[in-house]
Structure formats: C-alpha cells, structure tokens
Structure 1
Amino acid sequence: MARSTIQDVARLAGVSEATVSRALRGLSNVAPATRERVEAAAAELRFTLSKSASSLASGKTHRILLLVSGGLNNWFNSSVLQGAIEILSPEGYDIVPSFVTNRAELSRLIETLPSNRDVDAIIVTSFTLDAAFRAALASLDMPLVGINNPDIDGLNASVRIDDLEGMRQAVQLLHSLGHERLAYIGNLIPPDLDYSTDLRGEGFHKTALELGYDEGNLYISPPEEANQFRPTPEIARRNVAALLAAPQRPTGVCVQTDEMAAHILNELRRQHVRVPEQMSLIGFDDNQLAQIQDMTTIHQDPVMLGREASRLVLDLLRGKPLDEPHIIVPTTPVLRGTTGVPTDRN
C-alpha cells in the first residue's frame, strides 16, 4: 500500500495543502471545524506531518540538547534523561543527549553551537558555565536551563538541590549520634571543570567547624591527580587505608557520592571494620547502590529534576513568564544500616 501524502489528506478533507500543514502543526489560524476535519482525514489515512517539514515551516527543530558531564549511562545522567523524556516527548520534542568529560571537549562543543543550531533549547547539568560558553550562547535566541549547577550565571532558569545543606544534614546526623572524629572522602572529579558535588566537601568542613569540631578531629581525603587513572575500587582502598592508619581514627565518615561510598563500605568490611559499631558511613544521592547496601545517605531525585527542568524549558519556549525561574529542591536524610552510636571505639 502506497504511503499517504499531504495531498491525499487535503483531497479527503476538502482543503488546501497549506491548510493541512497549518492544522497539523497546531497553528491558531485554522477554524476548529476545519481542524477537526483535517485531523480526522489524517487519522483515516494514517498520515503524520514529518518533523523536518514542520521544522522548515516553523523555524523550530523540536529538539532539546541535554548536555551532561560524564557518561550518559551513569545513574544521575540516565535518570535526568528519563525525567526529560517523560515531559518533552509527549509535547513532540526529541532529546539530543551529549556529554563532556573535560574542558577541551566542552570547548569543542561550544565552537559548533553558533554554526550548527539544530536545537531549540539546552539543558545542562552539574557543572559551571564558563565565560566562553555563556558568550557563545549570548548571540543565540535559545533558552538555557540548568540542573544542579554550582551557580546560575548565564542560565535562564534552573532546578537544583542544595549540596551544602545536604552535607550539613549528614554531619549533623553524625554529631547527634555522638561521633567525635569525622572524615570526608571525595570522588574522582576531573580537575578542569567546576562541579556542584565539589560543594559537598565545603559543606562538610564548614558544618563540622560550626558544630565545634577542631581540625585535629577532622580528616579530609586529599585530592590526588593520579586518581584520574585509577579505578574507583583502588581509590576506595587507598582512602580506607589512610582512615585506618590515622592516629585518631574517625568513627563517622561522609562520602561525596553513593558510588564511592559503596566501595568504601566494601573495603571497610574486607578489613573487618564493623559498620556501624566501629565506623558509621553516610553516602550522598540515594541511588540503587545505597538501597542494595542498606546504606544511610542523603536523598535526591534526578528523575524529578529532569522533569522540572523540562517544564521550565517548555514555559520558556512558549514565552510564558516564570514565577520562580530558579528552583531549589530540598534533600532528605535516609536512615539505614550504616549509621549508629559509636559503641566500639577501638
């Protein structure tokens, strides 16, 4: 059976091809009765207006660029993508996912934006937009929405958690349980991009000092450039070795992400450290690893963040004023089996 064309729909509906195009693109200059007749004819013939044709007519691509840091298959990025698809796909938008892992890759992407404008808006996650990125987008009439960015400079709208507050919740929990010596272990983050997760270490140190801990009772894992080339389990082993070798061993440990915390927990158990009796452990994110490991953590919901960012994108594309362009979503401590009163301090 031959594929139906716009001419077939026009003949069946008794209108011009231009009217079919306007009706199926949802333009307002079509009478309701005519639109219904065109839609019924299109449904009968199983005809859909191609996105390329619609884009040429409207000047819109119906594509949204989702720019993430790190692999598309990691928990946070894939969850954001899921949330974005749930909102944007029913509205007729395709999502173009892309990722960068360092500043050089980001610079190459920036160079292509002005000459290759094949998206209507950009959602960018987790890292700071530097001056070059903001300048490249300034000449483009294109909404830019952020998710969990360290700052909002250059963003038309954003949705994010408060990383400082989330880590404050973790430190306060350990303090309330009676832990006198605390530690913080960060993740491997490429050194040439500024990430929102970097704020968690700052939140740990600031809160601990406010609660009366002195520097002698705090251990913060030093960043090592060589960690760029080490697998996460090895980084975890090195950090646990440093914890256990400390003159004053910490009894409460905050970790930047659940991914790293899961490896820390495995290594502590391998070294026969009883968790939480000898050492309590708190992750951050509440991903599947935390749930499987019964690990106390700080909860965030990246699927919901993806949904909210996509709703902001749609409002901006439709010219709708935003009541609250920059949204902060609270984090929540999730108590599980890796925290408790330090009953065995030896």
Structure 2
Amino acid sequence: GYRQALTEAGIPPDEDLVVATPAGDKRGAAEAVGRLLGLREPPTAVFAEQDEVAVAVIWTLRATRIDVPGQVSVVGFDDQPVAQWFDLTTVAQSPSRIGREAGELALSLINDPGADRERHLVLPTQVIPRATTAPPPAPRSAPDRQLPPD
C-alpha cells in the first residue's frame, strides 16, 4: 500500500523506510526501530502490519524514552484484542467477511472449475483511532515562531 500510494502520487518510495520483523519478536522490533531512528530524517510515524508488531514498536520507542505519540505515532493492523489493551490506533478489518468471501470464492471454483481464478477483491477497512497517534511534531530545524503584536 505504501509503495502503491506513493507511486500513484508520483513520489518515489523510500525503501529505507520499509523494515521487516516477525510478529512478537521484541528484538527484531527493536532492531527495526533502531534502523528507522538512525535515518538522517527519521519518521514521525510507524505503520506495523500486525498489532503485535506495533506493540513491540511502542515498547521499544518508550524504552528509549521516545514519546508515543508525541514524537512518533504508531498504527497497527487487525484490531486484535491487544490493540484495545494498549490503546493502539489500528486498522480494523472484518474476519467474518473475509471468511465468507473466501468461502464463496472456493465454492464458485468447485462449482465452475473454469471460473476466473485471478479475481481480485478489496474489502473495506476502518481506522480505529486511539491514543498512539497524534499530529506530527514540528520539524526540529524550524525556528520558533511568534505571533506579531496586535
């Protein structure tokens, strides 16, 4: 999604901003966060493809005294129970609808073996805003701005 959205907007994706770590691997999350924070321009937000990874990212950021969401926002994906426990902003999808659509597709292939096997289906998702996201902080290099006198 990251690559596609940027490409469609005419912006080249920055592959340095894409890191991978297995779910539930605190050490891997710590290494991934370290890579991101070591960039010349570290991100102000992290999107994790699983809520469990997002929680490990939050744990790592907070362990290094980086304020979530004050300095870095974190968003997960799936709206698992862990997302509620950690007040994690996440993207929810409907497992029951995914299962229903998969079942219907399987039945259509059983009933018509010549059916289109390249069917692409995009199901709706919903962002569930919680306490791990905020507007990005002001750029560090920006001078303090004062309002002109009345």
**What displacement does 1:312 show?**
5.2
What residue number does 1:235 align with? 28
The answer to whether the 8 Å contact 2:24/2:53 transfers is no
Count residues with an aligned counterpart: 135
1:338 corresponds in structure 2 to 132
Counterpart Cα distance in 2 of 1:310 and 1:257: 24
Quickly say closer, same or farther: Cα 1:340–1:208, change in 2 above 3 A. farther
2:63 maps to 1:252: no
Q: 1:156 aligns to what?
A: none
* Closer/same/farther in 2, CA of residues 273 and 301 from structure 1, 3 Å limit: same
Alignment of 1:81-100 (within 5 A): none
Amino acid aligned to 2:25: T
| 1:162-311 pair list within 5 angstroms | 203-211=1-9, 213=11, 219-221=17-19, 232-311=25-104
Deviation at 1:212, TM superposition (A): 5.7
Q: Supply the distance in 2 between the matched residues of 1:231 and 1:294 (Cα, whole angstroms).
A: 17
User: Closer, same or farther in 2 for the Cα pair 1:307/1:345, shift >3 Å?
Assistant: same
Map 1:95-114; keep pairs closer than 5 Å. Answer: none
TM-score when normalising by structure 2: 0.70
1:316, distance to aligned residue in structure 2 (A): 6.8
In the superposition, the TM-score normalised over structure 1's length comes to 0.33
Q: 1:211 to 1:295 in 2, by over 3 A?
A: farther
Percent identical among aligned pairs is 32
Q: Is the 8 A contact 1:251 1:345 kept in 2?
A: no
Say if 1:313 and 1:338 are closer, same or farther in 2 by CA, change over 3 A.
same
SS of 1:253's equivalent?
strand
Would you tell me which structure has more helix in proportion to its own residues?
1
| Matched residue SS, 1:283 | strand
Greater share of residues in strand: 1
Q: Which amino acid aligns with 1:292?
A: W
What is the DSSP-based 3-state SS (H/G/I as helix, E as strand, rest coil) of the residue aligned with 1:329? coil
- Within 2, Cα distance between the matches of 1:273 and 1:206? 30
Following superposition, the deviation at residue 235 of structure 1 comes to: 0.5
Partner residue, 1:177? none
**Cα distance between partner residues in 2 of 1:206 and 1:310:** 28
Instruction: Give 1:304 shift.
Output: 2.8
Whose radius of gyration is greater, 1 or 2?
1
Q: Which amino acid aligns with 1:331?
A: T
Equivalents in 1 of 2:86, 2:94: separation in Å? 18
Which structure has the higher relative contact order (CA within 8 Å, separation 6+)?
A: 2
The residue identity in structure 2 corresponding to 1:242 is R
